[in-house]
Structure 1
């Protein structure tokens, strides 16, 4: 029988590694080398809080009150579509393609964006609170060990994504590469937003 620690690690990694709004933002901040560690810390602590809440039984409450998910659904959809529109605007404006020309983003603004991309996305509640919470509680006595594994996976993922992105900085010295990334971000964010609104 597998260790709850390993099951938690692999389950969390499988859920978090999919491309999404939060990951795209961490990747962009990492490539820019801007407030990377605080953004990684916020995303990791947020996951820790959500996973802990799921293991403690909040997921059961959310599942019993689907209206709680609906409240976040439309706000999250609007935010994602708006963020995608900004990325599309950057991709279409030649003067905005070199991030060195961008005004530096303040730490508060970067953290606020990371928090919004995390907490306004209903999928984060379904993945961390409901799904991981349910999987953890199947481990019975090992549920908190499962949680440690899940949180460790989250920390490893965000550190790897954020700090590893710096290795791509040379590639992203080219404005065309930024245009491609911003187009991918725009398409991803808008598609996620529309999907949230329609499903």
Structure 2
């Protein structure tokens, strides 16, 4: 059975709102979310990149504009053969004058997966289409009951390895996505897993979700 080398998309959140007023800006940083090495070894996954992610927002507070810079953390993991991947994103979730300053807080899973996949589409060689919601399940993530929503879609890939050869640019590969959002402490943690639809990897990926660690 053909397998596609499924690359981890470089999900970059950069939201810049222009016209900032005032000289002082509030900067908040989240704690990184991660999957412990023991869980990765058991599932035959390997750590990838870990980097900071900057989100800048401008909020109206008491009749003035407040500049808020949110520093989050993105970590990625991939199956040893490249056949599946997990992306974890943690961002601060402050409340300014009763309004959440986190652009991810309050979004539905549908909106959230569209946002993340839309950003990953900017990576050269990846294009996600025909996204549809196909199911959901409950899992315990960071001590909380969380809904994991599953989507199916297709990826049009350039320069992706398929059975050792490059995929054609117009070839569509069926894929599955699993996404969950958890508020933990002062942060919002988003977990996104991806794998080819013909790869039976869902339970392994969801078990990794349940092993996520984060200092709230």
Q: Structure 2-normalised TM-score?
A: 0.24
More helix by share: 1
- The structure that is strand-richer by fraction is 2
Structure with the bigger RCO (C-alpha within 8 Å, sep 6+) is 1
What TM-score do you get using the length of structure 1 for normalisation?
A: 0.25
